[in-house]
Amino acid sequence: MSSPEIRWAGPRALLLELDSLDAVLSLHSRLRDNPAAGQVDVLAAAQTVLVVFDSRASARAARGSLARVGSMPAGAAAVQDKPVHIEVVYDGEDLAEVGELTGMGPEGVVAAHTGQLWTAAFGGFAPGFAYLVGETDALNVPRRGTPRTAVPAGSVALAGNFSAVYPRRSPGGWQLIGHTATRMWDLQREQPALVRPGTTVQYVAVRELIELSRTDTDQGDGTQADAAVAETPAAGPALEVLSPGPQALIQDLGRPGLGDLGVSPAGAADTASARQANRLVGNLPSDAVIENVMGGLSVQARGELTVALSGAGAAADIRSEGGSSRPAPMYAPFPLHDGESLHLGVPEAGLRTYLAVRGGIDVPPVLGSRSTDLMSGIGPAPLAAGTVLPVGAVDSARAVGHAEPPALPEDLSPGAGGKPVVLRITTGPRHDWFTPRSLAALTGQEWTVTAESNRIGVRLDTGPSAPGAADGTPLERAREGELPSEGVVAGSLQVPPSGLPVLFLADHPVTGGYPVIGAVIPEDLPAAAQLPPGATLRFVEVDPETLQHPAPLPSTRKKQ
């Protein structure tokens, strides 16, 4: 067996390309059971294994040993004998198109889909989403040119040589051929994922489905809310949400290492600001905070609390039950007395403001984290008026911090004058899929953040070009064909056929099928998470070892 080709996927991850799916599963099993030093996550895909590390040094040190392990003979993969039956109504929006692409017609597609056993090769994209390989390649079809922003839960789909069921409402570029009521992911089961690597599946055509009755925790999109947030009085100190604003979520540092289950790391989109807010009130960095988008958050104290605001700067005031008010500071701890309420305005610059309370937000953890994952539907539901958030016990040995400068870079400050935000990137792992002109355009033109952006990713459109730079045009591929799905890291710049990059943030899918031209370095992801719609940015390629541009550029960032 030949040695795998190893590509960098951002400065802290390695993508290993192998000869066969058996080789992928064998290497993945070895790394799962015997992880390399500094290994954070390992994720199998169609032809690759993604290995994520805690630092560039760990990834660099492991590269040689990974090449040796990857060249070992592949072992046999375990397969489940009894297939799982999934009933499907074949009424998908793309069924007719798939019939044309395969030459089978709609009825032929249904016959081919139900007439063979499918085996789960690996997970990814979302919890419960399994990539199923059929016994033939008769249904090998390309992904859609532009992914849908929302695919309904239960959609049965095809892409490349794979079939899958979308376990929840989510973005996706697969061809939709039908839908099912089968619940693919349920944390109430001993094994949350119905289909895991090695499971065999038999699709069964039916005329109609028996819908499962919804429980009190059902979100109505095919998944369940995985952690309840109290709406009854808490026994101890608490925060009551009076208004969540456009969006308010509970976040901590996320749940890394669960990519095999299709669970993204999630956590605070701007980790630098979340850490700062916790530091100011004397919490651990991993304590849960509130992440608020575009202001409008109002909360009321139940008991004597110490709180702090960080992230996007916004005017804030504290109102007493007697009607008096006083301003609340940013980037400094302050008391919020029993019965007082805190009200945030719209940020002057940036997008996300973080509220920490001494003791941390003490909601039940799910899979080791209290963070809300909008992609996976795991964790507490988005906050709503009337939600009561219990506050954890205070560790009196941890001191309340002093006032600090913002953790945001200067190019996101109110005085930046609308200049483009500069984000540092490293190329790869699939930069060779693009023309030299597009590689130059990636860093030679400005990009604009669109209103479709969210915690999953920052969607970009072409912006005005710098004088003498490439025109503001989408990126073009240098090669045709489909890229087999493979693991991706936060910061990845995935480019669909439209040529408009998507910058993956905290809730990104763990795998993707569009080539990644480069990746924003982890140190700049907090700034990327603060970009509001309409903001402009520029990418600057840097040396992955030094994170510096080869030619000195004026610095726009504060040292942290």
Which of 360, 265, 272, 253 shows the shortest CA–CA distance to 312?
A: 272
**Residue 217: its pLDDT value, please?**
39
HEC secondary structure over 80-106: CCCCEEEEEECCCCCHHHHHHHHCCHH
**Residue 13: its pLDDT value, please?**
97
Query: What does the pLDDT average to over 455-481?
Result: 79
Please spell the DSSP secondary structure of 363-391, one letter per residue. Answer: PPPBTTB---BTTTTBSBPPP-TT-EEEB
Which of 373, 512, 535 shows the shortest CA–CA distance to 447?
A: 535
**Residue 412: its pLDDT value, please?**
74
- The answer to whether the beta carbons of residues 246 and 298 sit under 8 Å apart is no
pTM for the structure as a whole:
0.85
Above 60 in pLDDT, residue 224? no
Mean pLDDT estimate for the chain: 89
**Residue 466: its pLDDT value, please?**
44
Which overall architecture, per CATH, does domain 5-70 show?
Answer: 2-Layer Sandwich (3.30)
Query: What does the pLDDT average to over 142-151?
Result: 90
**Residue 413: its pLDDT value, please?**
66
- Residue 363 confidence class, pLDDT cut points 50, 70, 90: very high
**Domain residue ranges in the chain:** 5-70, 84-205, 238-390, 410-541
- Residue 415 confidence class, pLDDT cut points 50, 70, 90: low
The tokens of 487 are what? 């693991």
- The answer to whether the beta carbons of residues 341 and 372 sit under 8 Å apart is no
- The answer to whether the beta carbons of residues 490 and 265 sit under 8 Å apart is yes
pLDDT by residue (tens digit) across 323-353? 899 999 999 999 999 999 999 999 999 999 9
Alpha-carbon distance values, 260 to 90, 120, 128, 375 (Å): 29, 12, 10, 15
Above 60 in pLDDT, residue 222? no
- CA 166 – CA 40 distance, rounded (Å): 26
Residue 519, CB half-sphere, CA atoms under 13 Å: how many? 26
The Cβ of residue 348 has, within 10 Å, a number of other Cβ atoms equal to 13
- The answer to whether the beta carbons of residues 511 and 45 sit under 8 Å apart is yes
Query: What does the pLDDT average to over 436-444?
Result: 95
pLDDT by residue (tens digit) across 514-526? 999 999 999 999 9
pLDDT by residue (tens digit) across 267-282? 999 999 999 999 999 9
Cβ-proximal residues to 352 (8 Å cutoff; 6+ apart), any chain: 269, 270, 273, 291, 292, 293, 311, 312, 529, 530
Could you give the percent of the chain with pLDDT greater than 90?
A: 67
Between 75 and 16, residue with greater pLDDT: 16
Above 60 in pLDDT, residue 231? no
- The answer to whether the beta carbons of residues 458 and 528 sit under 8 Å apart is yes
Please spell the DSSP secondary structure of 5-29, one letter per residue. Answer: EEEESSTTEEEEE-SSHHHHHHHHH
Alpha-carbon distance values, 491 to 92, 250, 526 (Å): 32, 22, 10
- CA 90 – CA 107 distance, rounded (Å): 9
User: What type of residue sits at position 553?
Assistant: L
**Residue 219: its pLDDT value, please?**
44
- The answer to whether the beta carbons of residues 291 and 274 sit under 8 Å apart is yes
Residues 84-113 as b/e (b if ≥16 CB within 10 A, e otherwise) read bebbbbbebebbebbbebbebebebbbebb
State whether residue 440 is helix, strand or coil: helix
84-205 and 410-541: same fold? yes
- CA 299 – CA 308 distance, rounded (Å): 13
- Residue 171 confidence class, pLDDT cut points 50, 70, 90: confident
Query: At 341, phi and psi to the nearest 5?
Result: -120, 145
**Is domain 410-541 annotated with CATH 3.90.1200.10?**
no
**Residue 211: its pLDDT value, please?**
60
The Cβ of residue 500 has, within 10 Å, a number of other Cβ atoms equal to 17
Phi-psi category of residue 69: left, alpha or beta, with phi > 0 → left and psi -120 to 50 → alpha: alpha
The tokens of 33 are what? 């059971």
The tokens of 441 are what? 């355009």
- CA 239 – CA 246 distance, rounded (Å): 18
The Cβ of residue 345 has, within 10 Å, a number of other Cβ atoms equal to 16
State whether residue 170 is helix, strand or coil: strand
State whether residue 271 is helix, strand or coil: helix
Alpha-carbon distance values, 140 to 12, 99, 125, 189, 484 (Å): 33, 11, 19, 33, 11
Above 90 in pLDDT, residue 557? no
Q: Which fold has domain 84-205?
A: Cyclophilin (2.40.100)
Between 308 and 124, residue with greater pLDDT: 308
